[in-house]
Structure 1
Amino acid sequence: MLGRLANTSLIVLLLLVAGIANATNIEGARLWRSPEKTRLVFDLTGSVNHKIFSLSNPSRLVIDVDGSSLKQSLSSLTLTNTPIRKVRWAKRNNNDVRIVLDLHEAVSPRSFLLKPNSTYGHRLVVDLFDKGKASAKPTIPPKSSPAPVQGRDIIVAIDAGHGGEDPGAIGHGKAREKDVTLAIAKEVAALFNREKGFKAKLTRTGDYYISLRERTQIARKHGADLFVSIHADAFVQPQARGMSVFTLSKRGASSETARWLANKENNSDLIGGEEGVSLDDKDGLLASVLLDLSMTDTQTRSIKAGKMVLSELGKQNRLHKKQVEQAAFVVLKSPDIPSMLVETGFITNPEDARKLKSHSHRTRIAHSIYTGIRDFFHHQPPLGTLIAQEKSKGTLVASSKPRKHKVRSGDTLSDIAARYNVSMSGLRRINGIKAADHIQIGQLLEIP
């Protein structure tokens, strides 16, 4: 009898130890804010079962994680500019963790699990959509028609790759792709917003995650005339280096045509031309022909624009490939928006990574992207734009960049020279600067 009790006790003890060993730990959490939602990410040591539910009066969101243990306090999360007022947590049923988010206002929550990747382990993601902005079933939105006035600006959508929970490639010297791409994208946008006849729209303005489809949807919402996605390449061998430009491959175009046709019944998709062409009232064959024509024209324009950007990049930087490459990247799949993806160098290469962390080098890249796109539209401006009007009248000038620069905090002579694509010697000479880099905040420099 005693032996049997001892065996039973041993089995219970072993089961308890096994339960402890198999418990999933919540190692910590990260919080990201984007224009439409707040994303809360829990790092886990393994997969879990979980559920979430909302409570009202006051507004709360409850997150129950089965068979888990919280190993790190959540009190260090920065809740500023989020709907979360306070985070509380406690052990539940001696085996689970309950996390309660006290909210300033009601939200539309969504949760899902992510499997490990090269950067993170298992994760539980909880998205808190601002009321009225929760994403329903993904659809293909119609492209916004440009304002029906003559002399409109050309809209350039600039997409900084990765962001938030997705850092992209992490390269030599811990350089993060998401930081490099956002810095370059902002620089390109600033150049276009100083250029008469152009307007830039950033798909993301800060460090937050946007899905690939959302990026092209933002471009469509703003009626973009061109979409450029900025990235930094990575490879297992650190010797790989240099810049590349990609446009959509034929295989990618074919798969996207099929996707658009599949969505025809649920969308008022507009393609091509000033007024656009609706697919809603077209039979399958005609819709397929229209889409094919639109994709072919868009690919042709994408390649032309890509070649001009690649040419500008090659004037000051090492190229990985000397011709525009083609691939089936999701962000390039708008049938009526010329699109390109620019790989600004290999972040896994020590020399490229060092340069990509340099402000002056990023400025040179931004200027090359801007110049290539600007020159493309000077050759082929969309109808109804100011650039098209000036070209038809013969009054189009190469550039309307300001010829003066007011020195700001952090500016260096090399940065300013790179921004305006001029030589430092010329900048020194025209402004009478004799010391190596002797400029002062507020000083007005003339640009040669």
Structure 2
Amino acid sequence: MRGSTHCHGGRRGVRAGRGGAWMGCRQGWSHTRPREGDMGTIKQAPTRRRFLGHCLGVSGLLMGGGWVSASQAGRTALLRRVRTYQKDGHVRVVLDLDVPTSHTLFALHDPERVVVDLKNTRAAERLTTAGLTGGMLRRLRWARKADGTLRVVFDLSERVRSKSFPLAADAKHGPRVVVDLERHTQPAAQPVKQVTPRRGRDVIIAIDAGHGGKDPGAVGPRGTREKDVVLAIARRLEALVRKTPGMRPVMIRRGDQYVPLRERINRARRHKADLFISIHADAARDRKARGSSVYVLSQRGATSEHARWLARRENDADLIGGLSLGDVDPTVAPVLLDLSLTAKIEESFELGEAVLDRLKRTGRVHSRRVEQAGFVVLKAPDIPAILVETAFISNPQEEHRLRTRAFQHKVAEAILGGVKAYLKSNPPQGTLMMAAGSGEHVIRRGETLTQIANRYGTDVRTLRELNALEGDVIRPGQVLRVPRGS
């Protein structure tokens, strides 16, 4: 859901005008007719194919002023080159364009990022980040959105203050957007925080047993209720997670009680869950339908007719509690919700693929790909979330299997196996798994060495040397070593 950016408490401001722009908080960022050379010589780097990336929310907004932009002229701008300069806790990034374009700037936290959206812009085919990162700038990535906006994301090692401004073409350079990042002054208590144990926190897994209480869910031919069998599977998964070092389970419902769909999201967020797994049993008009499925949220509609029908059936549970499906969490600003969901859907896909892969090894699957549908329970804006349909309770044979302890345990083990595989490549920030630094990346379908190098702030040559690769051919499921500390 899209909307305008909100500033809270008067802490941030936006102003654009001839010759420059201003954005700031109470610390007082400003500039007057800025010059790129104010930071000294800018580091340059060659270019390479662009990298896809997403981001989560909005904390500030900056519009470039004083230009006749590409967006105004109806022409697509080209991001030709990226240059950086670092000095004494200050990073300047220069985005070289062929024609002016308007831009927005905002910051994201946990993990720390700064994002620049360049309106009606595309990246040069050979654009690269080689030689640009270091210090508090961990990684640079970009992706073009459906509306033509080029999103450039700076992954940071710490919180910063940020500002940006456009520069018109001169005798030496074309139009530019300059982004300044300055180390955020830490409070006096910060040195104490640095003495905390190195162990790191546990990864928190929110386990949601579907339905419950007055909502029985689907009912099998022999009267088996979905709410009962999925709670049994959830409890087995809880026990397995609790035994796993570095993980901690959180049950959304422990007994036979009804929990509204949005309250399930809220409970997961209150516990600061890193992952959200909703467990269900599928149902279909055709009693021969069988197998497991994994779903992630879709904002554009279901990926199949069955997914569309299933989402409608699951979401109807909210009507039982007397809630409107159109309610929007008032704590989440529309822009933040939209951007957060977009980013988390990508992470949810990766989690879903890992879980589906384990389910394929343990039994039959109904769909061999991760499906998408508009499940309300998956709309946590800041948590990767999947919905697992363990089997078809409408199928007499699978109804019987759902009642057995052996099958329940088998499904729970498959889900945990997928979670472990996902976390191996995506350890949440500040956790024991991140501190351990596995130094490995499991290749996903469609990934290239260039994309993986960009993700870990390294280059293709380094990846080839670490993994004794003679070329660029890689395969899904292959494990690559990545630089320690990436």
Query: TM-score category by the smaller chain?
Result: 0.3 to 0.5
Q: Return the TM-score normalized by structure 1.
A: 0.47
Larger Rg: 1
Point out the structure with the larger helix share.
Answer: 1
